[in-house]
Amino acid sequence: MSLLLHRLSNASSSLVNHLASAFGECHGGNLEATARRLRCRPAQLLDASASLAPFALPWQARWAAWRAPLQPYPDRTAQRLCGLIAALHGLEPTLVLPGNGAAELFTWAARDAAALGSSLLPQPGFADYTRALRCWGGATQPLPLPLDWSTAAPEVPPPMPPAPVLWITNPHNPTGQLWSREALEPLLRQHRLVICDEAFLPLVPDGERQSLIPLVADHPNLVVIRSLTKLYGIAGLRLGYAVAQPQRLQRWASWRDPWPINAVASAVAQELLRHPSRHDAWCRRVQLWTSREGAWLRAQLAAIPGLTPMPSAANFLLIRSDRSLVPLREALEHRHRILLRDCRSFDGLDERWLRLGYQDRRHNRRIVSAIQKEWR
């Protein structure tokens, strides 16, 4: 019996490590696995590998989480939440589908995409799109992006080869480049389905002006996916939503699990969105932080010989070097307990790139100081 339990324990540990490795390949913020590897507590880590607003959740939302009804099943349709999200964007509720984070919604978007043919994926790009497409055997086609840019707001996207489906991230992850609505709108005439991931757009100063959400009502081939977790720093709750035409969203709802939004997540989201003026004030606060900390970090890092922080409109930036940045990243982890994003998980990038998610000024100073000490 003891031998059997030992083998089961080893198998369980192997599975956990495999899953942690697989998820770590396409996402930052894997604190538990990293803490086990570094033999420390998760609370001891400064996580700049994930890109989340650093502010404490409003007390009203924390109170809503504490009071959330846990005994009854949650509302399958999330009707109240749909209404609040729709009102936020001036939409009909039938154009909105909340999800268990943006990742769940990518899975259903990928099912539609796979049925149409090959998906055009900008590279470097977020690996979760590929993960979602693999679920349905979807074909992919790379769209290489320039790896040298001088502005965070390029005037036009790169030329698009023919493909039935296009996936866009705006602002782009991991480059942080922001395309205008006017530049992206012609793409809706070139592809049978356009999936636009706007997870970071609410954190960008004046970013809403570039959203494709106002185009959804007139374009059945457009899907826009948003996240509340980046804006409010609540990735543990898994909250996102899709905006698309009703027939598509009804089809997705018929495919998914019956209760994708749990009661706590729903209660918190409803409280966050219940007062539009309060939500707008939060967005302004976050956007001011993005602007200030981005400018400060770029100036500090640009002064370090051998490192080039690239222009970014988002709350993260890419750091480039002519030599490997892996030793720097590892030194920050082991000696300073600071996590930066290893960019080898992005197709098209290698060990000469790192991504840094903005923190508050105190923690940004800590990051810059550690880099100055370790970079040789």
Please state which CATH class domain 65-275 belongs to: alpha beta
pLDDT of res. 4: 41
What pLDDT, in 10s, does the model give residues 23-51? 444 556 688 898 899 888 988 899 999 99
pLDDT of res. 31: 84
pLDDT of res. 158: 83
Considering the domain 29-56+279-374 in this protein, what is its CATH number? 3.90.1150.10
Stretches in the chain below the pLDDT threshold 50 = 1-25
What's the pTM value of the predicted model, to 2 decimals? 0.91
pLDDT of res. 27: 54
pLDDT of res. 15: 39
What pLDDT, in 10s, does the model give residues 210-243? 999 999 999 999 999 999 999 999 999 999 999 9
- In the chain, CATH 3.90.1150.10 covers 29-56+279-374
pLDDT of res. 155: 79
Residue 32, number of CB atoms within 10 A of its CB: 12
- In the chain, CATH 3.40.640.10 covers 65-275
